[in-house]
Amino acid sequence: MTDTTSTATDTTSTASTAAGTRYAVTDPASGEVLRTFPTITDDELRAAIDTADRAHTADRSTAADRAALLRRVAELYRERRDDLAATIVREMAKPIDQAVGEVDFCADIYDYYADHASEFLADQPITLAAGSEGSAFIRKSSIGVVLGIMPWNFPAYQIARFAGPNLLIGNSVLLKHAPQCPESALAIEQVFHDAGFPEGAYTNVFASNDQIADVIADPRVQGVSLTGSARAGAAVAEIAGRNLTKVVLELGGSDPFILLSTDDLDAVVESAVATRLEGNGQVCNAAKRFLVADHLYDDFLTRFTAAMSAVEPTDPTTPGAELGPLSSPAAADRLEEQLASARSQGATVVTGGERQGNAFTPTVLTGVTPDNDAYREEFFGPVAAVYRVEDEDAAVTIANDTPYGLGSYLFTTDADQALRVADRIEAGMVYVNIVGADSPELPFGGVKASGFGRELGPLGADEFVNKKLIRIG
């Protein structure tokens, strides 16, 4: 759930490590640095890996024991929801109602894995070939220390979907958060400590990129999961590959929203606006390209433009706020450059496109052609591109004409068409006639340049696991 540009969710920082300001809380609206945190020293980082490795080696807990700890984590999230949500708003300007929802979703995730502990870690019997004697089964077990590299756009949720299943499995977690989310990182680490997880089971590290490269290369680290930019993902995968370390990558997307037919256009428009503006337009699996059947295009564009125009950027701490500033001045600069480039290459701004500090008015583009850079870029902000399509085939062609393949949205009244088109879309997820339907039991992940591997659901508990065959004669 993140940008694929280096200025948004890349794990790098322009702040000075030597000055101890790599990790800092910076007001997204003004760019004022509110608080700084020192980067971990090399000795401290080695000690953290040692402690995590010892914690895994010494662990004798059962799945039921770990499930009980995760339930306590969920309780603490709910008890501290207001403080955790306020921290999210302070660090990346998410509207407060959405930040509270994020914290609640995290609690649901931890409860989900606690509730399904015995199911996900149960032995899986294997039916032997005819004539074979004895039995066989798969027994799942932890693999050791795993590293999570997380972005800023969901400071709590991104951690939950990585840490929840891995702590249930019994892996030890090292967590490198985005440099602009240090307070969230520390608050969440405290939750795990207060819940009763032993020292080393979950450790936050304020590490530099060079240090993280060394962590990935450490033979005690058995897996790494990154949500971030394509550049960061490629760098992490390269290091992991050299060291034969398992990797899961979620690298963002430019998800299509396909409208082929509807009995309630106003409801579809409401869904379109909601998915485009969530998180101030900075959500990786939000719809960003709207592909509308010819007979609905004019009406949709009129209503969608009006609905987008009705939303104004405001103070994200205000209950009911729908849209705040982008996460940083750098993110705003990047979006401004993308919009200027799109215009210069022939796109039409139907509404919006105005920068107000680090916020943008909701923007609707048309006339984005394949020779325009905007055609294949991900806009990480409140910008929607609308396309007229002749038919189902044209919609699928444009939907798939992107480097990405994370999520997608399809609206149709034809049940046969829904499954037919869903089968043809090159994406890890297809949502039919619904948006905002993420849930702990639903696997999350993509294909193509959106990465590989899955988080959440039963598949999320099946990534960093030793699936050991036991054959008994």
Q: Which amino acid is located at 435 in the chain?
A: V
Using CA atoms of 151, 154, 157, 158 in order, give the dihedral in degrees to the nearest 10: -20
Angle, alpha carbons 212-195-220 (nearest 5°)? 30
Phi and psi at residue 355, to the nearest 5°: -90, 130
Structure-block tokens of residue 434: 């619904």
Alpha helices in 149-256 (DSSP H): 157-169, 182-195, 209-217, 230-242
Question: Is residue 226 within 8 Å of residue 232, measured between CB atoms?
Answer: yes
Residue indicated by tokens 């009244």: 413
- DSSP for residue 455: B
Structure-block tokens of residue 397: 């062609």
User: Beta strand 431-432 with 221-227: parallel, antiparallel or unpaired?
Assistant: unpaired
Cite the active site residues.
250, 284
Q: Which amino acid is located at 335 in the chain?
A: L
- Of 82, 135, 116, 427, the closest CA to residue 287 belongs to 427
3-state secondary structure of 130: coil
Using CA atoms of 103, 108, 111, 115 in order, give the dihedral in degrees to the nearest 10: -170
- Of 293, 439, 338, the closest CA to residue 8 belongs to 338
3-state secondary structure of 175: strand
Phi and psi at residue 451, to the nearest 5°: 105, -165
Structure-block tokens of residue 465: 């696991």
Q: Which residues contact 455 (CB under 8 A, 6 or more apart)?
A: 161, 162, 165, 225, 248, 250, 443, 444, 445, 463
